[in-house]
Homo-oligomer: A and B are copies of this chain.
């Protein structure tokens, strides 16, 4: 046993201050688990005066100097965003220091380069906290399932949108009303774009897909649709077919062997209420995994918040510290498979569509014919007549997304179709 391991903390907001508190509260356990005590060498912040709880001697505004200091062994980055986080992490690597990060945006944009820089420097880059907060997920994907083949990873990875959709289902409210409530309760930020439009979930999908399929996937590769177009009609229609609406991050391996590719997307979808993900309500996160040998797995827990995120950071810190002491960098290669990323148009999906049609002979045949012309096979159809009108509810089999959206466009132009009242993809049906 030699001296303490010294940690540089970059950022001291909600997560950073929880990390500081846990390092102090868990000092005895951390020492036992790592073999040496952990000490905070410095805390880089923009405005030291805003952090009266942090010992003044630890605070610095010069993050770049802190990460390369000789007495710093490990760096924890909880600033978020692309810069200066990226430059600081690269500087830490160049100075031979391993990094624990909670930065989903950066990892989703630049994970390949960051992994390469860490490997070149022979140090670690861990980022369990970047996806699904406290839920141990990245390490199980990277390590526990390392001897298996993953087929799909489907996650509810954004608590804000899950809260809004849960409220819409519970109260029958529309999107705007549920968003207003979420904002008032602090579940949505003043500018909710990152959550509501699926940017946050897309970053997480990119990270999950990269790890699941050993293939570089960036946020820009992810097809992204948010929830602002989800209507109370969509939610009601979902309930009628035994489903619930969730914003899903979906990473799939399509095809096998040399034809293999990956499809990565974020969009709202109906899933059966019997699916394990359907019961994940409010601000919780959960990730459902299908692997060749392991079968179906699910990981569930809190996806955000200072303490849960700090728990994930500390778990990484213990691993990185132990690797530092044993002289081993802990992660294997992640990009070796390098599968192509499939376009959304080419990705197989299933649609639910509800139509108001004229209730007269031949309409169902005409509508069915439109699906057939686009090569889309119908799984279930339900027709309810009322007066001279009828409602048609159709769930398709799997077809390329482009064929499905072309079918919908054609239906909208069809004289017999008075209105397309709900269109939403369906996931998790057998």
Contact = CB atoms under 8 A, between A and B. Distances in A.
Interface of A: 18, 22, 26, 29-30, 32-35, 128, 134-136, 139-140, 143-149, 214, 276, 279, 291-302, 305, 307-308, 310-315, 317-319, 322-323, 326-329, 332-333, 336-337
A32 B148 contact: no
Given A293-B310, A296-B301, A145 B136 contact: yes
Contacts of A136: 136, 140, 143-145, 297
Given A128-B144, A139-B143, A143-B315, A29 B294 contact: no
- What 8 A-B pairs have minimum CB-CB distances, sorted nearest first? A147-B314, A136-B144, A136-B140, A134-B294, A293-B311, A297-B301, A294-B311, A146-B318
B332 A34 contact: yes
Given A33-B146, A315-B144, A296 B302 contact: yes
Contacts of A139: 139-140, 143-144
Contacts of A326: 326-329
Given A136-B136, A147-B315, A292-B311, 15 more contacts: A26-B147, A32-B333, A33-B146, A136-B145, A139-B143, A146-B314, A146-B319, A147-B310, A148-B315, A276-B279, A279-B279, A293-B308, A294-B301, A294-B311, A327-B328
A294 B312 contact: yes
Which of A294, A300, A315 has the most B CB atoms < 10 Å from its CB? A294
A291 B311 contact: yes
Copies of this chain assembled into the complex: 2
A233 to B, nearest CB: 28
A367 B228 CA distance: 57
6 contacts: A26-B148, A29-B214, A139-B143, A300-B300, A323-B328, A328-B328
A22 B308 contact: no
A296 B135 CA distance: 9
A163 to B, nearest CB: 16
A128 B139 CA distance: 14
B315 A146 contact: yes
A29 B256 CA distance: 14
Given A147-B30, A311-B147, A297 B328 contact: no
A293 B33 CA distance: 17
A29 B296 CA distance: 21
